[in-house]
Amino acid sequence: MRLETSILGRVDYAPTCEAMQAFTASRRPDTPDALWICEHPPIYTQGLAGKADHLLNPGDIPVLQSNRGGQVTYHGPGQVVAYPLIDLQRAGYYVKEYVYRIEEALIRTLVEFGVTGHRVAGAPGIYVRQDDPFSHAALNGPAPAGDPFRGLGKIAALGIKISRHCTYHGLALNVAMDLEPFSRINPCGYAGLKTVDLSTIGVSVTWDEAAAVLSQKLDSRLAP
C-alpha cells in the first residue's frame, strides 16, 4: 500500500500538529496511510524529553511544547518536514524498525545528491562529515572521548509519536536554511552539536526537488 502524499507548502506548526492528532484519533482499520510534506515558519519545539536549559536564547522565535519524542529543535523555511501517518500494526513492523526505515530513507535521499549520511548510535537523526560530506568511507571505531559526533554535522532530525500503533510527527531535512537559530539551542539536547544543510555543504537543490526525492524514498522504505 502506497502512502497518500500531500504537499502542504508552508504551514504553521501548531495547526498542523492538531490536524495530525485529529487524523490519528479518527483513524479506522481501513484508513489509508498518509505522508504530509511541508515547511514551517520559524519556531522552536520542545519534545517530551526537552529541558528548559537547552533553550539558550530563543529571542523573538516562538517556543512551543510538543508531544513528540526527543528534545528541542528548530523548524524554519528551507527545511523539508515530513510527517508519516502510518498504522504500524497493519504495516507489520515495530517502532525501532520504523525509525531505522526513516533514517534509511534520509540516507538514500542524500545519496541522490551525492552526499553520504551517517547514523550515530544513541542519537537519532542523520549526520554528515563536515570536512568531506561526499566521502563514501564508513565511520571507523568508537567516537573520541568528549566528541560523540567526531566532526559530524547534523543534517536531519527525527521526533516521532506513536498512538494506538499509529505514527505522527516525523522528520526534518535541512535543505537551504538560515542556520543561525540552531546556535541559540542545544540541538536535540547536545551542546555544541553543529547543524548543517545541503546548501552549506555545497549542494544546490531547491526545496521542491528535495521534497520530491524524500517523499519517494519514504514511500518506498516505509512500505509494509
Distance of alpha carbon 146 from alpha carbon 49, whole angstroms: 22
3-state SS, residue 183? helix
C-alpha cell, 31: 484508513
153 beta partners: 128
Report the catalytic residues: 188
* CB contact at 8 A, 14 and 64: yes
133 Cβ partners below 8 Å, 6+ apart? 115, 116, 196, 201, 202
